[in-house]
A and B are shown apart, each in its own frame.
Chain A
Amino acid sequence: MSLSNIFAIAGSALTAQSARLNAVASNLANADSITGADGQPYRAKQVVFKATAVEGGGVGVRVTGVVDSAAPLRMMYEPSNPAANEQGYVAMPNVNVVDEMVNMISASRSYQNNVEVMNTAKSLMQKTLAIGQ
């Protein structure tokens, strides 16, 4: 139980939120990638958060994994595309750009909140250290 635990707690949240922002960046960058490394259309990635104990007390966050979105692929009618199937449809990544933008804003707000928590903890710690001076 001490102020320094707050650094560990907020730090774990910063790591988790930046992993989420990373996933959003990958998804937005690959919103139109018809073929990935495996020859299949890119699938949107999502990070999974889990509450985890921090050494010394408190509850931090941990990214337990990155999962592919289960949403169906976007089928686009484009007969002239060489990747089109017999019906003339091309399978496009299942990235929902609106979802990703919302995710991005949410992640950056959460990141800011945790930075603020860290700043407050820092200034409180400095004031505690100044006791008796």
Chain B
Amino acid sequence: MTDRIDALLQVKRTALNARVYRQELLASNIANADTPNYKARDIDFKDALEGALAGRTEGSLNLARTSARHLGSESSQAFGGAAKYRTEFQPNVDGNTVNMDVERAAFADNAIQMEAMLTFIRGDLSTLQMAMASQ
């Protein structure tokens, strides 16, 4: 029974995880809007979700980290392999490629998509509860 519930929620759960990862990337971009030479990154959601559902782990090379400040290997994150650099048509003089309008729009959009996913998961769970309740 529990594996059925697992299977029911698997796609939505993976999608939610991908959304959280994207939200984190976008937050990093917004945080580094004034950092010289920072390059904005984002994931292609469709690619990331398809990859994660197919069990693809792109470039599964894990780096040894001797300090908490070391940048982690991208592939140690489930969706890390899907993260790409943004192509900026109007780069800053200081090498920063964060376009605040794009980032904020993407952040808001991603937040709404996350809320939608949460609503769907809640709906699934309430359906299950209804099925299990004795009438």
Contact = CB atoms under 8 A, between A and B. Distances in A.
Q: What is the predominant secondary structure among interface residues of chain A facing chain B?
A: helix
Given A113-B104, A124-B115, A57 B72 contact: yes
Contacts of A5: 24, 27
A4 B38 CA distance: 22
Contact of A2 (B20, B35, B72): B20
Q: What is the predominant secondary structure among interface residues of chain B facing chain A?
A: helix
A92 interface: no
Interface in B32-52: 32-38
Given A120-B111, A124-B114, A59 B32 contact: yes
A6 B68 contact: no
Which of A10, A55, A61 counts the most chain B CB atoms within 10 A? A61
Interface stretch (A33-41, A72-80, A94-102, A125-133): A125-133
Contact of B32 (A51, A55, A57, A128): A51
Interface of A: 1-3, 5-6, 9-10, 12-13, 16-17, 20, 49-55, 57-61, 106-107, 110, 113-114, 116-117, 120-121, 124, 127-128, 130-132
